[in-house]
Structure formats: C-alpha cells, structure tokens
Amino acid sequence: MNRIFANIALLITLGNILSGCSFAQLTVRASMPMIEGGITALNHETDLQLAEAAFPPNITLMEGMVVNDPYNSVLHEHLAQAYYGFAYGFIEDTDKQRASQLYYRGLKHGFRALMSYDITSDQITGTPDALQSAINHISKDAINALFWTASCWAKWVDMNRDKVESLAQMPKAVILMQRALDIDESFFMGGPNLFFAIYYGSKPPMLGGDYTKSENYFKKARSINNNKLLLVDLLQSQYLDRQLLNKEAFHTRLLKIINSPDNIYPEQALITMIAKQKAKLFLSMEDQWF
C-alpha cells in the first residue's frame, strides 16, 4: 500500500513539473551540469588560441538554451560572464567597438538575471536612487547577477568614455558592485575589491579618484588570492601606476607577471595566461604611456 501511495505521489510531482516546464526547459535544466563543467574546463585552459576559439560556440550554445528557458537566471549570469570574459581577454585590446558591443550584450543578460530577484526594468533604467532602493534588501543569492551586471556595465562605460550619456551610467554600476562587496568581498577572487581599486585609481582626485583607497583595495584583492592572481598586478599597473606616472612600478609589476610560473594559480590558468599576454602588450606601450 505504501508503494502505491509513493507511486501516486511521484506521478503527481512529475505532472506538476511538466505542467510548469516545457520539455525544452527540462532539457536545458538537465544540461546545466555540462555548462558548469565547461566553465571549469575553460578556467583551467592554458592555450589562449584554444580558449579564444572556444568562447563563441559556447556562447552560441547558451544563447540557444536561454531561448528555450528565458527565465533561467543562472544561464543569464553565465552569459554575462562569458561575454565579459571574451571581450576582456581577447577583443578589447584590438577592437574597442566590438568589445563595447559584447559588453553590452553581457549587460542585457545581467539585467535579465537581476529581474529574477524582483528588480524591475523601470528600476534599472530609472534614477540611481531608484536602483539603490531596489537592491538595498536584495537576496545574497543575487551576488552573481550583481557582480557580472556591474562588471559588464562598467566596461561598457569604459569603452564609451567619450560619450556623456555613457559616463552618466557609471553610478549605477557602482551601486550594484557596492552591494556585491557588502555581501561577499571575496567573491570571484576578490572581484568587488578589484572593481573599486580601478574605480578610485583610474581618475584624478578632482574627478572622484582616491589613490589611497585604490591601493588599499588592490592590497585586499591580493590578500584574498594569496598573491597568486596576476590580474591584480596587471590592473594596478594599467590604472593606478599610470595615473601616478610611476613608470618604475609599472615596469616592475609587468615584469613580475611575465616571469611568474604559468601554473601559479592552476584553477584560474586562463586568467593567468591572459594577464601574461596583456602584460607583454602593456610593456610594448610603456614609452607611449609615460
């Protein structure tokens, strides 16, 4: 008798699931572990050519999946991260216009992810105060959406810094990242700290820069990663050292990156290799920048 009731309960449960989800949605959700595995594998990749070639088909795959499951917030978060990673790692140094478009596509997925946490489109497109009120009590589970939306937003602004209407959107990215920092400053290898290190270090004090704050945020990010994330030194050389016109620190930091072991941070090998590639590019521009 107990087995009969158990079977009936199972049928009712399956019926409820199937009535709420299409077969396509169920297929997408069953495939999510493969997406997660692909992200992990890509993080461990040391061949930059292979990694660059892997991004477009994986993005296209996830875009197809989100068509069938449009309210899948995790997919939107993964897509925001993927567009950011592809644009930052392989596009922005040679084609800023295309990078801007990629960051914007990531930003739109970030918006969709935020909407899963009851943030409305009117709050996103409204005033900074409206956005601030909306996220003050947002769930801690929203940190992925907050971080990647803010990251794509800030980079899109950076790619369009010659446009006043673009610069006017930066406060909203700051609001989102501040909430991410408040939730977990160690998220994504101290990513919120790196965001604010760049934010305060990339502009003069008269425009809101604060070099002491920037240095402290860089130190915090370095501590979180036990000095293994070469991206910290790369970004400090690119933004703070250049702003301070500290050519010696710039040069020393970039040489440290280039001479560091490729396996210094195996779980984030791709970021290590991207940092090394960019360090060589920045060194080649030293005389132009100083």
189: alpha, beta or left? (left if phi > 0; alpha if psi -120 to 50): left
Report phi then psi at 23, rounded to 5.
-60, -35
Distance of CA 39 to the CA centre of its chain: 13
Q: In this structure, is residue 1 part of a structural domain?
A: no
Question: What is the total count of domains within the chain?
Answer: 2
Considering the domain architecture, whether residues 156 and 222 belong to the same structural domain is answered as: no
Q: In this structure, is residue 81 part of a structural domain?
A: yes
Q: Which residue in the block uniquely carries the two structure tokens 């892997």?
A: 54
Domain coverage including residue 122:
24-184
pLDDT tens for 207-236 read: 999 999 999 999 999 999 999 999 999 999
Q: What share of the chain has pLDDT > 70, as a percent? A: 93
Considering the domain architecture, whether residues 163 and 206 belong to the same structural domain is answered as: no
Q: What is the pTM of this model?
A: 0.91
Helices (H) and strands (E) in the chain — how many of each?
A: 17, 0
pLDDT tens for 47-102 read: 999 999 999 999 999 999 999 999 999 999 999 999 999 999 999 999 999 999 99
| CB neighbour list of residue 68: distance below 8 Å, 6 or more residues apart | 22, 24, 25, 27, 28
Q: In this structure, is residue 2 part of a structural domain?
A: no
Task: Answer with the one of 153, 184, 215 that is the final residue of a domain.
Answer: 184
Report phi then psi at 271, rounded to 5.
-65, -40
CB atoms near residue 194 (< 10 Å):
26
Considering the domain architecture, whether residues 257 and 143 belong to the same structural domain is answered as: no
Q: In this structure, is residue 262 part of a structural domain?
A: yes
Q: In this structure, is residue 11 part of a structural domain?
A: no
Considering the domain architecture, whether residues 243 and 174 belong to the same structural domain is answered as: no
